[in-house]
Amino acid sequence: MRFVLIGAVAALAGLFLLADEAHAQSLQCRQQITPDQREACAEGEIDDLDDQVKYWRSAARQTRADYDYFLHRRERCDGEFACIARELQTEISELQVKIEPAARIRVREAYAGPVVYRAASSMSEMDAIMDRIITRDSWGWMFNRYDRGSVRNTRVEARNGRDRLVYSEYTYNGGTPGWVHLLIVDGRVACVEYHDFAGACRPVGARSYAYGVTSRLLAAAAGY
């Protein structure tokens, strides 16, 4: 029944999405030359969709149960960016039809795109790797929006045999400061702890969102 409802909602939402077609579109990264460029393009488009959906979740007062439902759908994409984009578009469609037309217009007008941090100093190699990891982890955040490019002061804070505890500072929601700990065990990211949930090191969110490469890069930079 849920899948039938999703299909019906998506069809109805098509009437309201024409004005947003430039934003909520399928991935357009196939013209890129290299695999790295294609991946960067796909990440950027998913960032945009992810930030849009957070506006709609707040406006539609999405329940935790509905949020978890769509999160599980995205996790089943197994890291395929085009699939993740389709699931985000479907969620946006369902949320839009729950909102009155005048409110939909206000939400569209309020959305200004992903927040990208422009710092005076450039990021270090470890900062850049952590930025990618936090960006992808933020695709599993319910409302907060990560300021892409804001990671600074990344360092290995503790070593225990082959384990590493990596610390970074970052901002979210347009400049709110925060910190994150990343625990690396045997060269792979084991769990992540954010300042607002201090003491709780959880599995990296959206665990199927292609963490392998960035995890190995960070492990190498941390001294493996």
In a shared domain, residues 154 and 98:
no
Q: Examine residue 118 and state whether it is found in any structural domain, yes or no.
A: no
User: For residue range 67-108, what is the model confidence (pLDDT) as tens digits?
Assistant: 888 888 888 887 778 888 889 999 988 888 888 887 777 777
Sheet (strand 163-172) strand order: 152-160, 163-172, 176-185, 188-194
Q: Please state the φ and ψ torsions of residue 149, each to the nearest 5 degrees.
A: 90, 5
Q: Residue 23: pLDDT band by 50, 70, 90 thresholds?
A: very low
Distance CA 55, CA 108 (A): 9
Q: Is residue 119 part of a domain?
A: no
Regarding whether 136 and 99 lie in a shared domain, the answer is no
Q: Contact at 8 Å (CB) between 179 and 195?
A: yes
Residues 141 and 58 in one domain: no
Q: What is the domain extent for residue 48?
A: 2-110
pLDDT at 177 over 80: yes
Q: Are 132 and 193 in a shared domain?
A: yes
What's the rounded mean pLDDT across residues 38-62? 84
Q: What is the pLDDT of residue 35?
A: 73
103 lies in the same domain as 153: no
**CA distance linking residue 82 with residue 77, whole number of Å:** 9
* The pLDDT of residue 21: 38
78 domain residue, yes or no: yes
Using left for φ > 0, alpha for ψ between -120 and 50, and beta otherwise, residue 7 falls in: alpha
Q: What is the pLDDT of residue 215?
A: 53
